[in-house]
Structure 1
Amino acid sequence: MRTRYLLCVIFSALIWSIGCGSSEQKETRAPAQKETVKAPEPAKPQGQPHAVLETDKGAIVIRLLPDLAPRTVENFEKLINAGFYYKTKFHRVMAGKMIQGGDPNTKDNDPYNDGQGNTGNYLSAEFSSRKFERGVVAMAHHEGDPDSASSQFFVVLQRMPNWDGQYTIFGEVTEGLDVADKISKAPLSKNPRLRNWPVENIRIQSARVEYK
């Protein structure tokens, strides 16, 4: 009788241990999550941004002034990096006073639409107390609408007090003012409908942004 009782106890213990082992074997664990590693952010360029315009008359280097006109500088850099100014012409010149370019319409063969082109996007004015002196670079806009600047810009070659506070200044020429002087003195069309329009095609052959 006692032997039978011991056998029952041993048998029960054996069944219990097998059952526990089965449950342990069936236990599943969630797979370990892979650690995600963020890609490093690209390093910001060091130094002051400069626009280098390679024209048919030589290079013009413009120090951009983001502290003065941040949105305008950002837009100008984007257009340069997108190749927007490639082959655009200086379509308006005033001898010894200014040269103007940046119109995509100047890429076609219709001189009558020069000065009317843009990107389709417009910039709000960023006026400052900076004076319009020789070497200043500013955005052109529609007459009477200072918030209509887009892609056209002009280089000032002499003091122009009447323009103070009327246009957004975003740069200054550091190299190539002599090139701008040459462009300003290009022969003009005698057609009264093409006022200040140079008959010579003086184009921007390439443009890039450098940091110095």
Structure 2
Amino acid sequence: MKILIVVLSFVLTTITVKSQSAFVRFETNKGNITVMLYDKTPKHRDMFLKSVKQGLYKNAEFNRVIKAFVSQGGELDDTILNREKRHPELGTKRFPAEIKPGVFHKKGTLGAGRDDNPEKASYFSQLYFVVGKVQTDAQLDAVELKKKKKFSAAEREIYKTIGGTPHLDGDYTIFGEIVAGMDVADAINAVATNKDDVPLSPVVFNVVVISKKDALKIRKTM
């Protein structure tokens, strides 16, 4: 049964990759990471692509790295919140959440950061890659009990084999996943940091939108 679940999960992932329309490349000083943006979260996909084209993620940094949890890039919470405090006339700008069933915090997913707003709306300028940990059945049972939710058999198997951060499910928008370069994402998550989780040496990145022609090539190899 377990083998069947893993096979079905692989097949579903392959089908998902082949059907997606947008891919981007994170060019970092640790190597490149190719990311598939989910069509299932079209508003975040389009918001992110617009931000990339506007240069928001040019010479950006992974500025908060928590080992075996997430690698966060873009603007820090304090930067965003302090700017809003200094300029109340600009208002508080958040992007409506797109938290969808079946889109979960497995290792390698790309999420949008946010503050503690009750709508779970995202920042426009902060993202994170999930690294997380391999989970046990007992740990997943505890998350289900606390969050009053139920993991599907496929989700449970992925968390037990690939890993991730299941306690974030339902609270943050996930809008993409790594399809190449997970070793680079792991290397970023392993860098030395200070007590505030800031890398001791800057981890710089640029995001480039992959052309439709090259995206088609990626889909054909999956």
Q: Which bracket does the TM-score occupy, shorter chain normalised?
A: 0.5 to 0.7
Unaligned runs of 5+ in 2: 1-18, 85-91, 133-163, 216-222
Q: How many angstroms does 1:121 deviate by?
A: 4.1
SS at match of 2:43: helix
User: Does structure 1 retain, via aligned residues, the 8 Å contact 2:38–2:175?
Assistant: yes
**1:188 and 2:197 matched:** no
Unaligned runs of 5+ in 1: 1-45, 107-111
Equivalent residue, structure 1, for 2:54? 82
Equivalent residue, structure 1, for 2:68? 96
Q: How many angstroms does 1:199 deviate by?
A: 1.4
Structure 2 matches for 1:61-210, cutoff 5 A? 61-66=34-39, 68-103=40-75, 113=79, 121-129=93-101, 130-145=103-118, 146-158=120-132, 159-190=164-195, 195-210=196-211
User: Does structure 1 retain, via aligned residues, the 8 Å contact 2:60–2:74?
Assistant: yes
User: Does structure 1 retain, via aligned residues, the 8 Å contact 2:122–2:173?
Assistant: no
**Letter matched to residue 157 of structure 1:** V
Question: Could you tell me the TM-score, scaled by structure 2's length?
Answer: 0.63
**Letter matched to residue 87 of structure 1:** N
SS at match of 1:85: coil
Post-superposition CA distance 1:110-152 (Å, at most 9, x none): xx7489679x742100111222111111100012441242121
**Letter matched to residue 94 of structure 2:** Y
Q: Which has the bigger relative contact order, CA under 8 A and spacing at least 6?
A: 2
RMSD: 2.7
Post-superposition CA distance 1:137-190 (Å, at most 9, x none): 110001244124212111111321110111111101001111111111111114
Question: Could you tell me the TM-score, scaled by structure 1's length?
Answer: 0.66
**Structure with the bigger percentage of helix:** 2
